Structure 1
Amino acid sequence: IVLQRLSDLENRIGALTATNSFLEKQLKEANDRKERLEEEVEKWKGEVSELKAEVKKSEERLLECEGSAELTNRYLLDENSKIKQQKAEIRCELIALKREHAKLLDAKQETPHEAELTALREEVAALKEKLRVVETTRKEENRIKSEPMETTEVASLLEELATLREKIRIAERQEMRLKTLRAVKEDQCALNKGNDVSTQPSRSEYFVKEEGCAECERLKEELVSLKQNQSVESESALKEKYEKMERELTEKYDMQKAIAEKLQKELFEAREKNDELRSAMRILDEQCEKLMELKKRAEVGRKKAFERLASINEKLNELRRERDSHQQKDADHKRLLQENERLTKKIDYLSAELRETHTDYREELSKLARQMSETKQKDATENESFAIKVEMLETEKRQLEATLRSLQRHIEQCKGECESRAKEVTCLRESQSKVMEENAKLRDGLALAITKAEKFKEEVEALKEMNSVINRELSKAKDEKSDAVIRADALQQAFREKERLVAYLQSQLHMRTCNKIKRTSSRSTLISVASESSVVDVEISEYDDRDSGTRGRAVVCSVDEGPVRPDSASLTRSTGAYVSAARTPQPLSSITNRSESSANTSVAPTPSRVGTMKHDIPHRWKTFLLLKQAKCIACYEGLPRVRHAMRCTECGLMAHRVCISNIANTCGLPEQCADYYLDSYATYSTTTMSGWVKLWRSDDTTGNKWRNAWAVITDQRLCFFDNDGLASPNDGGSPFLTVNLDRDHWRLQMQSVLDVSVKGGVSKDSLALLIELRLARSSLYMLAPTVQAKQRWVRALQTATDRRMFVQRRPSASSAANKMLIALDAPLNLTINCSQMLEEWLLIGAQEGLFITQLTSPRVPFIVAGLAAVFQMELVSDLEMLIAISGLQRQLVFMHVSDLYDGLKSDRPTVRPTAISSFSGCHLLTVHIDRLNNTRYLCVADPDKINILHFNSRLGVFTPYKSIATNEPATCLLSIADGIVFGADQFYFVDMKTVMAHVVVVPGCPSDYPLAAVSISDGELLLAYHNFGVFANVNGNRTRPENVDWNRAPLEFVYAAPTLYIVHNDTLEIVQIAEYNGPNSRTLLDVRDFYRCHCAHYIGRGRSAKEVLFALSGGDRTEIHSFCGNTEKTVFGTLKRKVTSHGEMTAHGKRLKV
Structure 2
Amino acid sequence: MQCTINQQTKLIDFLQSKMDNKKKKNLKDKLFGKENKENVGFSMPHQYRELEDMLAQERSTKKRLEEELAKARAALKGNSMDSRDTPRASRTPLLPRTPMPPPSPRLPQTPQNKRPTPIGGEKTPTQHHSSSRQRMRHSIPHRWLTGLQMHGGRCAGCLGSIPFARSAAKCQECGKTAHIKCSQKLPPTCGLPVQFAQHLSKDRTPNSPEKGPSSSNNPHCVMEGWLKMPRSEKSCWDSCYISLEKDAVLVYDSEPSSTTQPRARVSLNRVGCSTTVMSTVPRSELPTTSSVDLPYILKVEIRAKTAGGSSDMLYLMTTNFEEKQNWVTALESVVAQLSKGEGSGGADEEYIQADCLLTLDQPSTLDVNTIVFLGQATAVIGAAEGLFSFIVDDAGNLKSRSRIEGLTNVHQILLVPSAGVALFIAGMDNLVYQIDVGSLTTSAEAMQLTKPSISPVRVEPLQGCHLLASGTTKAGQTFMCAAASDRICILVWKDLEERFSLCNQYSTQEPCSCLHFTQVSLIVGAEKFYEIDLKTFEIEGTYFYPVTLLIVSSLSQSTVNFCTEISPR
Using a 3 Å threshold, how does the CA distance of structure 1 residues 710 and 873 change in structure 2: closer, same or farther? same
1:881, 1:894 within 8 Å by CA — same for their partners in 2? yes
Deviation of 1:1019 after TM superposition, in Å, equals 2.6
Q: Matches of 2:415 and 2:198 in 1, distance apart?
A: 51
Hey, what does 1:690 align to over in structure 2? Answer: 224
Using a 3 Å threshold, how does the CA distance of structure 1 residues 973 and 808 change in structure 2: closer, same or farther? farther
Deviation of 1:919 after TM superposition, in Å, equals 1.0
Using a 3 Å threshold, how does the CA distance of structure 1 residues 615 and 884 change in structure 2: closer, same or farther? closer
Deviations 1:167-224 (A, max 9, x none): xxxxxxxxxxxxxxxxxxxxxxxxxxxxxxxxxxxxxxxxxxxxxxxxxxxxxxxxxx
Residues 71-150 of structure 1: matches in 2 within 5 Å? none
Deviation of 1:812 after TM superposition, in Å, equals 8.6
Measured on the aligned residues, the alpha-carbon RMSD in Å equals: 5.1
Deviation of 1:998 after TM superposition, in Å, equals 2.4
Equivalent in 245, 248, 256 of residue 717 of structure 1:
248
Structure 2 residue matching 1:725: 3-state secondary structure: coil
1:698, 1:778 within 8 Å by CA — same for their partners in 2? no
Structure 2 residue 480 is the aligned partner of structure 1 residue 934: no
Hey, what does 1:1123 align to over in structure 2? Answer: none
1:774, 1:780 within 8 Å by CA — same for their partners in 2? yes
1:748, 1:797 within 8 Å by CA — same for their partners in 2? no
Q: Matches of 1:707 and 1:819 in 2, distance apart?
A: 48
Hey, what does 2:372 align to over in structure 1? Answer: 836
Amino acid at match of 2:549: A
Structure 2 residue matching 1:795: 3-state secondary structure: helix
Equivalent in 847, 867, 883 of residue 423 of structure 2:
883
Q: Matches of 1:820 and 1:615 in 2, distance apart?
A: 39
Deviation of 1:918 after TM superposition, in Å, equals 2.0
Structure 2 residue matching 1:663: 3-state secondary structure: coil
Ranges in structure 2 where 5+ consecutive residues have no aligned partner = 1-32, 45-128, 205-210, 215-219, 304-310, 341-345
Structure 1 residue matching 2:39: 3-state secondary structure: helix
Hey, what does 2:491 align to over in structure 1? Answer: 949
Hey, what does 2:512 align to over in structure 1? Answer: 970
TM-score, normalised relative to structure 2: 0.56
1:721, 1:737 within 8 Å by CA — same for their partners in 2? no
Hey, what does 2:468 align to over in structure 1? Answer: 925
Amino acid at match of 1:843: V
Structure 2 residue 536 is the aligned partner of structure 1 residue 998: no
Structure 2 residue 316 is the aligned partner of structure 1 residue 816: no
Deviations 1:765-815 (A, max 9, x none): 766644466788998654435554333333334446666888288559984
- State, as a whole percentage, how many aligned pairs show the same letter: 22
1:749, 1:774 within 8 Å by CA — same for their partners in 2? no
Amino acid at match of 1:735: R
Deviation of 1:904 after TM superposition, in Å, equals 7.1
State the number of aligned residues: 411
Q: Matches of 2:356 and 2:190 in 1, distance apart?
A: 46
Hey, what does 2:167 align to over in structure 1? Answer: 644
1:697, 1:779 within 8 Å by CA — same for their partners in 2? no
Using a 3 Å threshold, how does the CA distance of structure 1 residues 923 and 986 change in structure 2: closer, same or farther? same
Hey, what does 1:654 align to over in structure 2? Answer: 177
Structure 2 residue matching 1:870: 3-state secondary structure: coil
Structure 2 residue 450 is the aligned partner of structure 1 residue 913: no
Worse overlay, 942-951 or 635-644: 635-644
Structure 2 residue 324 is the aligned partner of structure 1 residue 790: yes
Using a 3 Å threshold, how does the CA distance of structure 1 residues 643 and 616 change in structure 2: closer, same or farther? same
Hey, what does 2:59 align to over in structure 1? Answer: none
Structure 2 residue 437 is the aligned partner of structure 1 residue 897: yes
Residues 199-218 of structure 1: matches in 2 within 5 Å? none
Amino acid at match of 1:835: I
Amino acid at match of 1:915: R
Q: Matches of 1:687 and 1:987 in 2, distance apart?
A: 51
Residues 339-738 of structure 1: matches in 2 within 5 Å? 440-442=37-39, 610=132, 612-613=134-135, 621-627=144-150, 631-636=154-159, 639-647=162-170, 653-664=176-187, 666=188, 677=200, 684=213, 688-697=222-231, 699=233, 705-725=236-256, 730-731=259-260, 733-736=261-264, 738=266
Q: Matches of 2:351 and 2:297 in 1, distance apart?
A: 39
1:625, 1:645 within 8 Å by CA — same for their partners in 2? yes
Deviation of 1:738 after TM superposition, in Å, equals 3.6
Q: Matches of 2:389 and 2:452 in 1, distance apart?
A: 9
Greater share of helix: 1
CA radius of gyration, larger in = 1
Using a 3 Å threshold, how does the CA distance of structure 1 residues 612 and 888 change in structure 2: closer, same or farther? closer
Structure 2 residue matching 1:750: 3-state secondary structure: coil
Using a 3 Å threshold, how does the CA distance of structure 1 residues 819 and 889 change in structure 2: closer, same or farther? closer
Structure 2 residue matching 1:790: 3-state secondary structure: helix
Deviation of 1:821 after TM superposition, in Å, equals 5.2
Q: Matches of 1:629 and 1:696 in 2, distance apart?
A: 31
Hey, what does 1:265 align to over in structure 2? Answer: none
Deviation of 1:981 after TM superposition, in Å, equals 4.7
2:406, 2:453 within 8 Å by CA — same for their partners in 1? yes
1:622, 1:648 within 8 Å by CA — same for their partners in 2? yes
Q: Matches of 1:813 and 1:738 in 2, distance apart?
A: 24
Q: Matches of 2:353 and 2:317 in 1, distance apart?
A: 43
Structure 2 residue matching 1:792: 3-state secondary structure: helix
Deviations 1:374-411 (A, max 9, x none): xxxxxxxxxxxxxxxxxxxxxxxxxxxxxxxxxxxxxx
Equivalent in 526, 544, 551 of residue 1015 of structure 1:
551
1:722, 1:736 within 8 Å by CA — same for their partners in 2? no
Deviations 1:304-350 (A, max 9, x none): xxxxxxxxxxxxxxxxxxxxxxxxxxxxxxxxxxxxxxxxxxxxxxx
Equivalent in 273, 278, 292 of residue 748 of structure 1:
278
Amino acid at match of 1:845: G
Amino acid at match of 2:485: P
1:842, 1:853 within 8 Å by CA — same for their partners in 2? yes
Q: Per chain length, whose mean CA-contact separation is higher, i.e. which structure has more relative contact order (CA < 8 Å, sep 6+)? A: 1
Equivalent in 499, 503, 506 of residue 961 of structure 1:
503
Deviation of 1:938 after TM superposition, in Å, equals 0.8
1:741, 1:800 within 8 Å by CA — same for their partners in 2? no
2:492, 2:500 within 8 Å by CA — same for their partners in 1? yes
1:688, 1:714 within 8 Å by CA — same for their partners in 2? yes
1:651, 1:668 within 8 Å by CA — same for their partners in 2? yes
Using a 3 Å threshold, how does the CA distance of structure 1 residues 678 and 708 change in structure 2: closer, same or farther? closer
Hey, what does 1:24 align to over in structure 2? Answer: none
Ranges in structure 1 where 5+ consecutive residues have no aligned partner = 1-435, 449-606, 1002-1006, 1028-1154
Using a 3 Å threshold, how does the CA distance of structure 1 residues 648 and 879 change in structure 2: closer, same or farther? closer
Hey, what does 2:287 align to over in structure 1? Answer: 757
Using a 3 Å threshold, how does the CA distance of structure 1 residues 780 and 444 change in structure 2: closer, same or farther? farther
Q: Matches of 1:678 and 1:706 in 2, distance apart?
A: 25
Deviations 1:928-986 (A, max 9, x none): 222x3333221212222222212234433321122233334334434456645555455
Hey, what does 1:852 align to over in structure 2? Answer: 389
TM-score, normalised relative to structure 1: 0.30
Deviation of 1:678 after TM superposition, in Å, equals 7.0
Deviations 1:1036-1090 (A, max 9, x none): xxxxxxxxxxxxxxxxxxxxxxxxxxxxxxxxxxxxxxxxxxxxxxxxxxxxxxx
Deviation of 1:713 after TM superposition, in Å, equals 2.6
Using a 3 Å threshold, how does the CA distance of structure 1 residues 861 and 831 change in structure 2: closer, same or farther? farther
Structure 1 residue matching 2:411: 3-state secondary structure: strand
Structure 2 residue 395 is the aligned partner of structure 1 residue 861: no
1:942, 1:969 within 8 Å by CA — same for their partners in 2? yes
Deviation of 1:873 after TM superposition, in Å, equals 1.4
Deviation of 1:910 after TM superposition, in Å, equals 4.4
Deviations 1:452-478 (A, max 9, x none): xxxxxxxxxxxxxxxxxxxxxxxxxxx
Structure 1 residue matching 2:287: 3-state secondary structure: coil
